[in-house]
Amino acid sequence: MAAAAGSVPWFFAMEFRLQWRELWQGLLGTGGARRIMAIVFFVLILLSLHALANFLVGPFVAGGVTDSVPALASITASATFFVVMSLSQAIESVTRAYYTRGDFDLVLSSPAPARSVFWARTFMVTLTSAILSALMVSPFVNVLAWRDGARWLMAYPVTFVLSGMVTALAVFITIFLFRAIGPRHTRLAAQVASAVVGASLFVGIQTSLILSHGAPGTIAGPIADFLLFVTGGGDSLVWLPARAARGDWGAFALLAGVSAGCVALALHVSGKSFAGLALAALSETSGTAHEHKAHRFSGAGAMALLRQKEWRLVWRDPWLVSQSLMQLLYLVPLFALILFTAGDSVVAGPVLAAMLAMAAGQLSGGLAWLTISGEQAHDLVMTAPLEPRAIHLAKIEAIAAMVAVAILPVLGGLAFFYPHVLPVAAAGAVLASASAIIVQMLFRGRGDRRHFARREGSPRLATMTEALAATAWAGATGVAVVSLVAGAIAALPAMAIVLLVWLFRRKATPI
Amino acid sequence: MIQSDNALEIVALKKSFDKPAVDGISLSIPRGMFYVLLGPNGAGKTTLLRMVSGILKPDSGTIRVCGIDALADPVAAKQRLAWVSDEPMVYDRLTPLEYLEFVAGLWSVPSDVAQMRAHDLLDWLSLADTANKRCGGFSKGMLQKMALAGALIHDPDLIILDEPLTGLDAGAARQVKDVLIDKVRRGATIVMTTHILDVAEPMAERIGVIANGRVIAEGTLGELQQRSGRSGSTLEEVFLDLVATRDAA
């Protein structure tokens, strides 16, 4: 039976259909042959991740996983990483629910209760968050179920339950921001909060590890140590999700009850005020208050003006700056490592070079999407009397300059403390950066700059390969610091990824 | 420099997506003419104009802009034309003056000339007060006028406009029309699509009617009236009659 029009299930069905189509088309494209190749690609990735999971958790399950507190602490620590990542994503998704103008004018002007829209969107955020989390943990859960028993499959429903709690927390954070700083600043603050939440855990742990041991290590270790310290090493409610994930039905029921309560409370608190807050958010406009001093034409040429335009557009958008700077947050441990090891560590060189390449790749990918797919006046630029390659060259120069400004301080530190690492690190950064730009060039689309984080208009495949290429170059760069020959061999997967991207490139590109 | 009496010549132009969008269109538009292209939704008008502007590559056919083969030498052809779409192509974080400097730079207009023209255009379009404010908070009408200023800053010979009056209030629409008519008086050629036939009627010197990717009628209003057998009728009546006849056939 179809849901009544305007009801929560009716809105949810609509949200689900839209999300599903976006996800399906984004992941697999529309063409038959491309879809088959994309499926093969994803199966290969999944198999690789399962092999990696088997390698990582193999020692953990070799003697069977007990219900000991240290084991529960390790499981909880690993889960914490995924929960924090989900929270980061949920804050952004919930905030977007308030600011997405697309259909709000229609929905809020209709007699359907605004509360129903918000409830449906909150459920959708929960579901999306749960599916993404389940996908992320699936290699580990499947390997654990295979090696230590099917009870580990309970980790999937636990993921859904935790996603409910995470979404409720994201709703409370967003409402708090609205009340505390108003709609004008909430979007930026929430996006910064989202990025900080996502990056802080990783950066904090890496920094502490670097300062204590001189090299980054695994994420779970320090969190587990911290949890054991906080709980005193005894039985605690903190272990509830870990117990539930191991097949303890009592623990699962309790966790599910708490999660349902959190979601209900979040919906109750926020549902009534949603329409008012959404209208307040939508009535905010950007740019009206910004008046600049009288502008004189500089006489610069077309290429220089193209570069200046890109720099101005990024610099004048606080959200883009914050999002880009968040990607640079990962460079903070590099500074710490350079300063505190001061050339004494043999481990630091490869790690520094690898992380620098990674940061350069990520930053370049984001900026390349902004300047190429996020071009606001695409038709204007395309009708300009310039060769397309000149336009692309100017954009690449603009990206390269921004990336150079970001990573030059780290390169300077390297030159001073680890001069032998500098050439390889710089080459790795250039190659990772070039790969990310190539990916965005070959998969260029048309996207709204506000959807920078989601790389709107670019296929999911492009976003994933951009990240994979950056990771592969980072690995190869780290290895190359130790041995150039080994580094060249380690670079083969990175080159293969770029080749794969070229094969999958969009055929119909505008002239 | 290649000289031609026609600002735009299109011969047997074709473009297909899932089905033919432009199906062998041929057109010649003399210099200094205000030409209006009409057609129902999905007729192929925008696809045709996007190909002329160099944004879309045709499957076959030729395009000559002021005598220049636009497919063989797109850069030279683009130097002579300007394109304004119904979605204003403006950067929300730039001010009008910064935007006009950028556009002038793309077309290599000397900066002193560009600065003078920019101020004239902003005055002309009643945007001088907002010259140093970011475009992000502008209304649709202001953005459309900004896009028009950008199109005119390099003094193009051929101006292509796709629904430039959509969403404009009466005052803004009047300003845009006055600017366009003045450009034609000064020798520029305008090719414009519009669904507002009351606007098109007094402005158009010649009218092309497109349906299903083909030109089904072309001429002055008088010629089209004669062809549809509705002497003295309005452009709207003639247009509806021509399209209905075509659909029936």
Cβ-Cβ contacts under 8 Å, A297 against chain B: 97, 101, 104, 111-112, 114-115, 118
Closest Cβ opposite residue B75 in set A286, A288, A385? A385
Question: pLDDT digit string (tens) for A68-98?
Answer: 777 777 778 777 777 877 887 788 778 777 7
With 70 as the cut, is the pLDDT of residue B222 above it? yes
Q: What percent of chain A has pLDDT over 90?
A: 12
Task: Give the pLDDT confidence score for residue B229 in this predicted structure.
Answer: 79
pLDDT digits (tens, 9 = 90+) for A215-251: 444 445 666 677 776 666 667 777 888 888 888 888 8
pLDDT digit string, tens, across residues B202-213:
888 999 999 889
How near does any CA of chain A get to the CA of B94, in Å? 7
Query: pLDDT > 70: what percent of chain A?
Result: 76
* B56 close contact with A: CB closer than 8 A: yes
Residue in A with minimal Cα distance to B100: A297
Closest CB to A312 among B54, B94, B110: B94
Q: b or e along A292-322 (b: 16 or more beta carbons within 10 Å of the residue's beta carbon)? A: eeebebeeeebbebbbbbbebbbebbebbee
Kind of pairing between the strands at B158-162 and B81-84: parallel
Confidence at residue A338, expressed as pLDDT on a 0 to 100 scale: 67
A511 contacts B54? CB cut-off 8 A:
yes
A299 to chain B, any CB pair closer than 8 A? The answer is: yes
pLDDT recorded at residue A173: 85
pLDDT tens digit sequence for B48-58: 999 999 988 99
3-state secondary structure of B204: coil
SS3 B209: strand
- Alpha-carbon distance values, A306 to A45, A65, A229, B144, B172 (Å): 38, 59, 55, 22, 30
Q: Is B136 on the interface with A (CB under 8 A)?
A: yes
Whether the CB of B139 is below 8 Å from some CB of chain A: the reply is no
Q: For residue range A286-332, list pLDDT tens digits in order.
A: 445 577 777 788 888 899 999 999 999 988 887 777 767 666 666 66
Inter-chain residue contact A380 with B115, CB threshold 8 Å? no
Tokens of A94: 């919930």
* Binary contact (B107, A385; C-beta < 8 A): yes
Min Cα separation B211/chain A (Å): 25
> How confident is the model over A468-494, as pLDDT tens digits?
888 889 889 988 988 899 889 888 888
Nearest CB neighbour to A302, from listed B90, B106, B115: B106
The pTM of the full predicted model, rounded to 2 decimals, is 0.73
Q: Is B71 on the interface with A (CB under 8 A)?
A: no
Looking at the partner chain, which of A293, A381, A386 has a beta carbon nearest the beta carbon of B132?
Answer: A293
Across the range A414-429, mean pLDDT stands at 90
Q: How many CA atoms lie within 13 A of A177 on its CB side?
A: 24
Looking at per-residue pLDDT, the higher value among A434 and A146 belongs to: A434
CB contact under 8 A, A295 and B131: yes
Cα B189 from chain centroid? 9
Question: Which residues of chain A make contact with B57, given a CB cutoff of 8 A?
Answer: 510-511
User: With bands split at pLDDT 50, 70 and 90, how would you rate the model's confidence at A509?
Assistant: very low
Q: Which residue has the higher pLDDT, A344 or B153?
A: B153
Mutate to test the interface with A, among B106, B112, B139 (most CBs of A within 10 A): B106
Report the distance separating Cα B240 and Cα A186, nearest Å: 51
Mean pLDDT of B62-90: 92
| Residue pair A355/A333 in contact by the 8 Å Cβ criterion | yes
* Euclidean distance between CA atoms B96 and A91, whole angstroms: 35
Range with the lowest mean pLDDT among A201-205, B77-81, B135-139, B197-201?
A201-205
Lowest mean per-residue pLDDT among A50-59, B125-134, B157-166, B221-230: A50-59
Q: Write out chain B residues lying below 8 Å of A507, CB-based.
A: none
Closest-CA distance, A31 to chain B, in angstroms, reads 13
Residues of B in contact with A293 (CB under 8 A): 132
The answer to whether A305 contacts B102, with C-beta atoms less than 8 Å apart, is yes
* Predicted complex ipTM: 0.84
Mean pLDDT (chain A) is: 79
Which residue, among A379, A446, A448, A450, would best test binding to B if mutated, counting the most B CBs under 10 Å from its CB? Answer: A379
A46-63 confidence digits (pLDDT tens): 888 888 778 877 777 776
pLDDT at B87: 84
Q: Most B CBs within 10 Å: which of A184, A286, A297, A298, as the mutation test of the B interface?
A: A297
- Closest Cα to residue A394, out of A308, A458, A455? A308
Q: What is the DSSP string of A447-509?
A: --GGGTTTTTTS-HHHHHHHHHHHHHHHHHHHHHHH-HHHHHHHTHHHHHHHHHHHHT--S--
| CA-based nearest distance B52→chain A, Å | 10
The mean per-residue pLDDT over the stretch A402-427 comes to 89
Specify the pLDDT at position B2.
54
How far is A489 from A175, CA to CA, in rounded Å?
A: 51
Q: pLDDT of A5-40, one tens digit each?
A: 778 888 888 888 887 777 776 666 656 666 777 778
